[in-house]
A and B are shown apart, each in its own frame.
Chain A
Amino acid sequence: MADGDLTNLWVYLSASPLVGLTITLIAYSLGYRLYLYANRNPLLNPVVTAITVLIAFLQISGVSYATYFEGAQFVHFLLGPATVALAVPLYQQCAKIRKRLLPLVITLVVGAIVGAGSSVGIAWMLGASLEMQMSLAPKSVTTPVAMGISEQIGGLPSLTAVLVVATGIIGAVTGTTLFRLMRIKDDAVKGVAMGIAAHGIGTARAFQENKEMGAFSGLAMALSAFTSAVMLPWLLHVAGVL
């Protein structure tokens, strides 16, 4: 095949969704293998590896994010059905959850305030722009909800999506060590803290520990999305930021 044919083939392929979708799955399974190979070391979170490999590949091949996303959107889309799917573990753990309802509600309200307050406060103290502070405010909330909140309070929704993923990774990587240092063994406590601080990526990590921690994390993530969507705009207004 001549050089021109190869170039044409690449031009054709790079414009089709097939490439974006396939490289996403390849990069993730690479990341997952590496994670298993390293005995599930939380530092080698498969999301970190996948994102690093993909950004490097796109930068080198000169494919834009928009073109990549045309393929990757099929994976991104599954966030919706996956959120609905959380109803299943929630139902399975219903009896345990019912016994912890009041502590859960109290933790959700405090968690929403601390989650937004700490990130906005720290960013403000270190001189970040208002736009960046507002993009950071919903960082612990699951992606689709966080993007909605960000838009409402004057942040950049797509920047928020990136910060949300980073937050989830940080929570998933540090969580188990933090709970060990704090000597917390109760799965409900660990799960709720993980779900409030680190949404779906934290929940994925929690499910790797056990089903109870995963169910509490999923529940906390879903309910904190709800409380944050209601409370955050109002809180920022009261705090005088908006």
Chain B
Amino acid sequence: MKFLNGMTLLLIYQLVGEIGVQLLQWSIPGPVLGMLLLFLTLLLRKGMLPSADVASTALLSHLSLLFVPAGVGMMVYFEHLAKEWLAIVVALVLGTVVTMAVSALVMRGASRLFSPETYRDG
């Protein structure tokens, strides 16, 4: 029952997020606004909703499964991808690794500078 209540809650927040984004004409997606609203609710409540915890843990424990259908869409673009494969592969691999390395360096540097008390990197 907790799972069902939790799922219902997540869907309600998503729905409110979608409606909010439409009404306010924001360029962020509805689920992102829904997440912010649920986060604010938990902050104001000063406590976790057990049902939300159960549903969230269930969904997030296999988050990567949810990307499979979009990934299979690759088959539609085989020709597109084959034509420019070198540029795509290099841009994807190098771009991702560089982004991750730079983000890590900036986060490490800024943490040392601004939050040294919580930083523990040895």
Measuring CB to CB, which residues of chain A are less than 8 angstroms from any residue of chain B? 24-25, 27-28, 45-47, 50-51, 54-55, 58-59, 65, 68-69, 72-73, 75-76, 78-92, 94, 96, 99-100, 102-104, 106-107, 110-111, 114-115, 118-120, 122-123, 126-129, 132, 136, 139-140, 143-145, 148, 152, 158-159, 161-172, 174-175, 178-179, 182, 184-186, 188-190, 192-194, 196-198, 200-201, 203-205, 207, 214, 218, 220, 222, 225-226, 229-230
**CB contact between A88 and one of B34, B56, B77, B91 (< 8 Å): that residue:** B56
Interface assignment of B101: CB less than 8 Å from any CB of chain A: yes
A83 to B115, CA, bound (A): 28
**CB contact between A118 and one of B17, B88, B98 (< 8 Å): that residue:** B98
**Quick one: which of B86-108 are within 8 Å of A by CB?**
86-88, 90-108
**CB contact between A162 and one of B77, B99, B108 (< 8 Å): that residue:** B77
B87–A123 CB distance below 8 A: yes
CB-defined contacts of A65 to chain B, threshold 8 Å:
72-73, 75-76
Question: Which of B13, B62, B103 is the most central at the interface, judged by chain A CB atoms within 10 Å of its CB?
Answer: B103
B74–A162 CB distance below 8 A: yes
**How many residues of chain B have a CB within 8 Å of chain A?**
80
A83–B34 CB distance below 8 A: yes
B108–A184 CB distance below 8 A: yes
B115–A99 CB distance below 8 A: yes
B68–A196 CB distance below 8 A: no
Contact flags B1-26 to A (C-beta < 8 A → 1, else 0): 00000010011011001000000000
A136 to B85, CA, bound (A): 13
Measuring CB to CB, which residues of chain B are less than 8 angstroms from any residue of chain A? 7, 10-11, 13-14, 17, 27-32, 34-36, 38-39, 42-43, 48, 52-53, 55-57, 59-77, 80-81, 84, 86-88, 90-108, 110-111, 113-115, 117-122
B98–chain A nearest beta-carbon distance, Å: 5
How would you classify the secondary structure of chain A's contact residues: helix, strand, loop or mixed? Answer: helix
A145 to B21, CA, bound (A): 13
A151 to B121, CA, bound (A): 41
B41–chain A nearest beta-carbon distance, Å: 8
B99–A111 CB distance below 8 A: yes
**CB contact between B90 and one of A47, A92, A122, A175 (< 8 Å): that residue:** A122
* Minimum-distance CB pairs A-B, first 8: A103-B110, A72-B69, A119-B95, A126-B87, A83-B31, A88-B56, A87-B38, A85-B56
A–B complex contacts, Cβ < 8 Å, 7 sampled: A24-B68, A24-B69, A75-B65, A82-B60, A86-B35, A178-B104, A185-B120
Apart from A83-B32, A87-B13, A163-B92: 4 A-B pairs, beta carbons within 8 A: A82-B66, A102-B110, A122-B95, A203-B63
Q: With A47-B71, A65-B72, A118-B95 as known contacts, state yes or no: A127 contacts B87, CB within 8 Å.
A: yes
CB-defined contacts of B27 to chain A, threshold 8 Å:
148, 152, 229-230
